[in-house]
Chains A and B, each alone.
Chain A
Amino acid sequence: MAALVEMDNIVKIYPNGVVANDGVSFSVERGEIHALVGENGAGKTTLMKILYGEERPTSGVIRINGNSVHFHSPQDAIRLGIGMVHQNFMQIPSLTVAENIVLGKEPTRRGLLDRKAAIQITEELSRQYGLKVDPEATIESVNVGMRQRVEILKILYRGAQILILDEPTAVLTPQETTELFKSIRTLVKQGKTVIFITHKLREVKEISDRVTVMRGGRVMGTLLTHEATREGLARMMVGRDVFLEVSKPPQVRGEKVLEVCDLTYVSETGRQVLRGVSFNVYAGEILGVAGVEGNGQTELVEVLTGLRPATGGEARVLGTPILNRTPRAVRLAGVAHIPEDRLTNGLALQATINENLIVDRYFRPPFRRGWFIDNNEVRRHGQQLIEIFDIRTPGGEVPVASLSGGNMQKVILAREFSSQPQLLIAAQPTRGVDVGATEFIREQLVEQRNRGTAVLLVSADLAEVMSLSDRLVVMYEGQITGVFPEAAKATEEEIGYYMLGVKRQSPEEMEAYL
């Protein structure tokens, strides 16, 4: 019998000449959980978008149940039972869970929307597949885990037999991930087939039956999961040996650099985002902040770097108050910032690399000469940093927008690391960059720490914070709910309980370690 899904020799060349898939052949058997792994830019999402009808292949054949198919839109794919859960959820925040699930295919009674039927449909699906949701809650009021379950129910309602999940665990806590895996197993037991995109090798081992590894737009191989090792898969993904663990010399803790005391922040919509956050960061240490995204980490970083006003509390860098100052004043106090959202807060996309490299220092000598900017100095400076940080570009005069994601991140790193900061605040520094660049960024963070910089590292990647940090705090609903003086000795499971708010330490317990 033919495989359920067969993609044969798929080539995808984008109009700008990027070859995303270069002769990819990929097949999925009925009832299996098939992991698709690879670095960012390896072409896995593109391949799945082709299978889901969102992108059209330049050449190649897709067969479902042995029949060749041509998709013009996702609707064609949905009709054949293929559904995809995207990384960014496709939902309408103000509508309820049930309304979102039936959207576009609503049950009606006399031309009007039948809300009762919608709720009933949702409850039935929810029960059948063990995906717990609250049908009458609005999407904006439920957490990420439930939003993801809504997304899965939505494609099941449309009759999906093949579910494509694009990095579904990226936003989940370890416990939520366990729940999700349980649901995936339930789905498969009921005859569904699951394609699971990820770059977390531990998850590949845990959930999948088979795994296909992609690199540079090609398939490097398909293996039975129980025959694969993490190291072997990593080598296939990157093409060389990768050090999954970061090695760092013992910590030499210096003076107190950042002192945060009872920091609060209320958003414009009146949400209490930070609720009395206090901690210190010392020279020569990396303090990691773990937590499910949306628990105030983003706002914490933005308040500390002058991008948002604080509502109350204090923060000092080596004695200088930094709250409610302009970003420039904060930077002049010795703070460097690798922002979470590079495209918005990290770079001026239409400006050149050289210009982006001086935005925090153009107003000072040697770049400023009287009323003007010394362009020779700017070029020299750019050239130097491009070499040191190995930014792959034809030159310093090209707009940053023309670089790849990893190289954009390097431009930011070059600027922030070369400012010789006292305090480095890094928010999600390796998000969206590939394994090779990730390794480089992590090494650089450790290098800064070894040189005596205080580093505040915020990351949604729990493995990353745990391996890089000397000390680790967990944020939950705008508060620090746990502190681990030796990050290396904590377990993911233990930290997960704090991330979910199941466990919390009392202020007295934490005091000595903050």
Chain B
Amino acid sequence: MWELVLKGIFSALFVASVLRISTPLILPALGGLISELSGATNIALEGIMLVAAFTGVVISAYTQNVWLGVIAGILSGVLVAAFLAYFHLYLGADLFLSGIAINIMATGGTIFLLYVLTGDKGSSSTLASKAVPVVNIPVVKDIPVVGTILSGHNIFTYLAFILTWLVSVYLYRTPQGVHLRAVGENPEAAASLGLNVRRIRLGALLLSGVLASLGGLNLSMAYLTLFQREMTAGRGFIALAAVFLGGRTPWGTLIAAILFGFFDALSNQLGSLAIPSQWVQMIPYAATVLALVVYSVRQRAQAIERARRFQEKHLAETHAAGD
């Protein structure tokens, strides 16, 4: 029985599934990262994903055009992010509370509209929604193992990796990215140099809205091809956890998101075992908590180690000076 699981994990198909499952974590996590670094953490990633997932499905079903669905999904997510930005940045509402309110509203709102449009409160299976294309990379797809892992994913998966690189360039190599980080770290100093703190944070929140929307669309137009109630299942929050676990850097965030994706994929594999499914479904979430604990313990240990080395070095210097 366990052999089956192990065999499953050490297969190219499993690695491919990790990448596929990580995608809807990587994309919102990048959005979370940008907003976090700007000093206005986007708590509403979850809600934005949900709204975008829903809108993409509905519009693609009614227009029968997948790209119109994607664009509408992104716009709807950005609109939700704009609401959050407006409440927080312009009306002075608490970021956390506004974010939570938006998440709750998104859950209820999507179910309500789903019912209005389809008469079903569970899923959009009666709508003929579209799926984004899958990319088969020429040549690569024919290489054994590598082809299975790298080729045949939907465009969002490739986009997730490309965007990680782009976000990294944006944050560290462009003046705008440096401004964004400056605003997050010391808004007063940034303002004193003529940077518009509010506008930069607005930009960061809208950008995080785009990225979270892509994550949501990935769920309903690629991973599955329908909308289900509460289909984000906490991914928006796990994405935020990935930001911190990844040390607030793009590549760190990517790796953390893939780590969570791995546990998610693992729980799928274990689904075939005679373990109560609730336990199996718990794995990704428990892993998140565990990873965050391990991370903070490790950071502490590193800090103490640094202190010890510093002290030794200093003692050596003092002795040298004394001699």
Expressed in whole angstroms, the Cα–Cα distance for A99 and B193 within the complex equals: 13
Expressed in whole angstroms, the Cα–Cα distance for A332 and B249 within the complex equals: 48
The 8 Å CB contact of B310, one of A93, A94, A154, A272, is: A272
Expressed in whole angstroms, the Cα–Cα distance for A154 and B190 within the complex equals: 12
User: Least Cβ distance of B179 to chain A in Å?
Assistant: 7
- Determine if A111 and B174 form an interchain contact, defined as CB atoms under 8 angstroms apart: yes
- Determine if A75 and B194 form an interchain contact, defined as CB atoms under 8 angstroms apart: yes
- Determine if A506 and B178 form an interchain contact, defined as CB atoms under 8 angstroms apart: no
- Determine if B307 and A91 form an interchain contact, defined as CB atoms under 8 angstroms apart: no
Please indicate the chain B residues that have their CB under 8 angstroms from the CB of A268 in the complex. 303
**Smallest CB gap from A271: residue in B:** B307
Please indicate the chain A residues that have their CB under 8 angstroms from the CB of B188 in the complex. 90
- Determine if A92 and B303 form an interchain contact, defined as CB atoms under 8 angstroms apart: no
The 8 Å CB contact of A103, one of B173, B178, B310, is: B178
With contacts A270-B302, A272-B311, A275-B314 taken as known, whether A91 is within 8 angstroms of B189 at the C-beta atoms is: yes
Number of B interface residues in the complex (CB < 8 A): 28
- Determine if B304 and A93 form an interchain contact, defined as CB atoms under 8 angstroms apart: no
Residues 264-312 of A contacting B (Cβ, < 8 Å): 266, 268-272, 275
Most chain A beta-carbon neighbours within 10 Å: one of B175, B182, B195, B310: B175
- Determine if B305 and A270 form an interchain contact, defined as CB atoms under 8 angstroms apart: yes
The 8 Å CB contact of A113, one of B178, B193, B303, B311, is: B178
B296-323 toward A: CB 8 Å interface, digit per residue (1/0)? 0000101111110011001000000010
With contacts A111-B174, A113-B178, A270-B307 taken as known, whether A103 is within 8 angstroms of B193 at the C-beta atoms is: yes
Residues 84-119 of A contacting B (Cβ, < 8 Å): 86, 89-95, 99, 103-106, 108, 111-113
Residues 146-182 of B contacting A (Cβ, < 8 Å): 169, 173-175, 178-179, 181-182
- Determine if B185 and A94 form an interchain contact, defined as CB atoms under 8 angstroms apart: yes
How many residue pairs at the A-B interface have CB separations less than 8 Å? 75
* A313 interfacial contact with B, CB 8 Å: no
With contacts A103-B182, A112-B173 taken as known, whether A92 is within 8 angstroms of B307 at the C-beta atoms is: no
* A81 interfacial contact with B, CB 8 Å: no
Expressed in whole angstroms, the Cα–Cα distance for A106 and B179 within the complex equals: 10
**Smallest CB gap from A93: residue in B:** B185
**Smallest CB gap from B192: residue in A:** A90
Most chain A beta-carbon neighbours within 10 Å: one of B194, B302, B306: B194
**Smallest CB gap from A478: residue in B:** B314
- Determine if A93 and B186 form an interchain contact, defined as CB atoms under 8 angstroms apart: yes
Expressed in whole angstroms, the Cα–Cα distance for A94 and B194 within the complex equals: 19
- Determine if A104 and B311 form an interchain contact, defined as CB atoms under 8 angstroms apart: no
* A74 interfacial contact with B, CB 8 Å: yes
Please indicate the chain A residues that have their CB under 8 angstroms from the CB of B186 in the complex. 90-93
With contacts A74-B194, A95-B182 taken as known, whether A113 is within 8 angstroms of B310 at the C-beta atoms is: no
Please indicate the chain A residues that have their CB under 8 angstroms from the CB of B305 in the complex. 270
Residues 168-197 of A contacting B (Cβ, < 8 Å): none
Please indicate the chain A residues that have their CB under 8 angstroms from the CB of B304 in the complex. 266, 270
Known: A104-B194, A111-B174. 12 other contacts (CB 8 A): A75-B194, A86-B192, A89-B189, A92-B181, A92-B185, A94-B185, A103-B179, A104-B195, A113-B178, A266-B307, A271-B306, A275-B311
Can you name 30 A-B residue pairings with CB atoms under 8 Å?
A73-B194, A75-B194, A90-B188, A90-B189, A90-B192, A92-B181, A92-B185, A92-B186, A92-B189, A92-B190, A93-B185, A95-B181, A95-B185, A103-B178, A103-B193, A103-B195, A104-B194, A104-B195, A111-B174, A112-B169, A112-B173, A113-B173, A269-B303, A270-B302, A270-B306, A271-B306, A272-B314, A275-B311, A275-B314, A506-B322
Top 9 A-B pairs ranked by shortest CB distance? A270-B303, A90-B189, A104-B193, A270-B307, A106-B175, A90-B192, A270-B306, A92-B182, A75-B194
